[in-house]
């Protein structure tokens, strides 16, 4: 497995889009987008509301498919065709959609176990091996949420739910984690704990692909930034070069001053 050391590309692209167009409902979100997210490099995709960030993750996870065109290519780990189950064991996904759709009644332990079947909750016909059951307990402990093992999902806070969905994404020990605005709705302490957990995962070799407009949730281990706006890549490069007051102001179309501390960035009104 490629190590996410943050020092640059070291393999084929996790995602390679060449001239990709895609719809959500009746909206043409991408009209010929080109982008490569390198394997092993922790990357954040940043853009305003509605720019296409979540849609890009859905293309990557095969929740939606691009418009078929002979000059268009969408490769995931160098392949065009994937068994969705196999792909989901290589990519762990934590999305807000999933959090909203997830049933209220599944208990914490079941939320984690549901990752083995990419299901919402667990079902009586699903079988779990002793190894899978014990791995779920290890993940509960590793994420510091053993106390939520028997609590229904609908009776947890946003931050607690988010941690369980991270555990669900980790059951297959995926190579990469796709996180969609992971700290939205979390208080400061929950945000910092979540970011620290994500940092530990990156240090242990998981690649993180983060889509967000919350600039403060970009940890130091993320070294590459892609700016998207209106379904187009408008900049792509090293974090220090892109997270400047001038460039972030241009991306969001308002005056922004970027402040940097402890390897993190924060945006304040410019
Ligand atoms: N189910 C849908 N049906 C029709 N259009 C949609 C649907 N979901 C999203 N869109 C549209 O697709 C575009 C891209 O949406 P997307 O969710 O990818 O944006 P985003 O960058 O993730 O925004 P946010 O920061 O608000 O999460 C937007 O114009 C949005 O209105
Ligand atoms: Mg989104």
Per-residue pLDDT of the chain (270 residues; tens, 9 = 90+): 333 344 344 568 999 999 999 999 999 999 999 999 999 999 999 999 999 999 999 998 888 999 999 999 999 999 988 887 888 789 998 887 888 888 788 999 999 999 998 888 888 888 999 999 999 999 999 999 999 999 999 999 999 999 999 999 999 999 999 999 999 889 999 999 999 999 999 999 999 999 999 999 999 999 999 999 999 999 999 999 999 999 999 999 999 999 999 999 999 999
Pocket test for ligand 1, best of 21, 27, 46, 252 (most atoms within 8 A of CB): 27
Q: Return d(Cα 38, Cα 69) in angstroms, integer.
A: 24
Task: Spell out the alpha helix ranges (H) of the chain.
Answer: 53-60, 84-90, 96-101, 108-113, 130-142, 158-170, 188-203, 239-242, 245-252
Pocket test for ligand 1, best of 22, 30, 52, 61 (most atoms within 8 A of CB): 52
3-class DSSP state of 153: helix
* Domains of the chain from N-terminus onward: 13-269 (3.40.50.300)
In this structure, which residue's CA is closest to atom 17 in ligand 1?
54
Q: Which of 144, 117, 116, 121 is nearest to 132 (CA)?
A: 116
In this structure, which residue's CA is closest to atom 18 in ligand 1?
52
Q: How far is the CA of 152 from the centre of ligand 1 (A)?
A: 30
Q: How far is the CA of 255 from the centre of ligand 1 (A)?
A: 24
Ligand nearest to the CA of 49: 1
């Amino acid at each position: 497995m490629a190590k996410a050391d943050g020092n640059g590309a070291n393999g084929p692209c996790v995602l390679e889009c060449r001239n990709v167009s895609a719809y959500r409902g009746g909206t043409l979100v991408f009209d010929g987008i080109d982008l490569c997210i390198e394997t092993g490099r922790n990357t954040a995709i940043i853009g305003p509301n509605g720019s296409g960030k979540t849609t890009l993750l859905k293309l990557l996870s095969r929740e939606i498919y691009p418009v078929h065109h002979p000059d268009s290519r969408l490769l995931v780990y160098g392949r065009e065709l994937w068994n969705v189950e196999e792909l989901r064991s290589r990519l762990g996904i934590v999305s807000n959609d999933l959090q909203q759709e997830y049933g209220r009644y599944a208990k914490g332990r079941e939320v984690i176990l549901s990752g083995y079947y990419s299901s919402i909750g667990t079902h009586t016909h699903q079988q779990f091996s002793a190894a899978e059951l014990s791995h779920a307990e290890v993940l509960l402990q590793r994420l510091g949420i053993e106390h939520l093992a028997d609590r229904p999902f609908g009776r947890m806070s946003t931050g607690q739910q988010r941690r369980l969905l991270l555990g669900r994404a980790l059951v297959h020990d995926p190579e990469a984690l796709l996180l969609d605005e992971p700290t939205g709705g979390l208080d400061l302490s929950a945000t910092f704990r979540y970011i620290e957990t994500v940092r530990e995962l990156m240090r242990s070799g998981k690649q993180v692909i983060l889509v967000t407009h919350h600039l403060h949730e970009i940890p130091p281990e993320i070294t590459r930034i892609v700016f998207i706006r209106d379904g187009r890549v408008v900049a792509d490069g090293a974090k220090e070069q892109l997270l400047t007051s001038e460039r972030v102001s241009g991306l969001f179309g308002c005056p922004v001053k970027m402040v940097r501390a402890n390897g993190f960035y924060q945006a304040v009104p410019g």
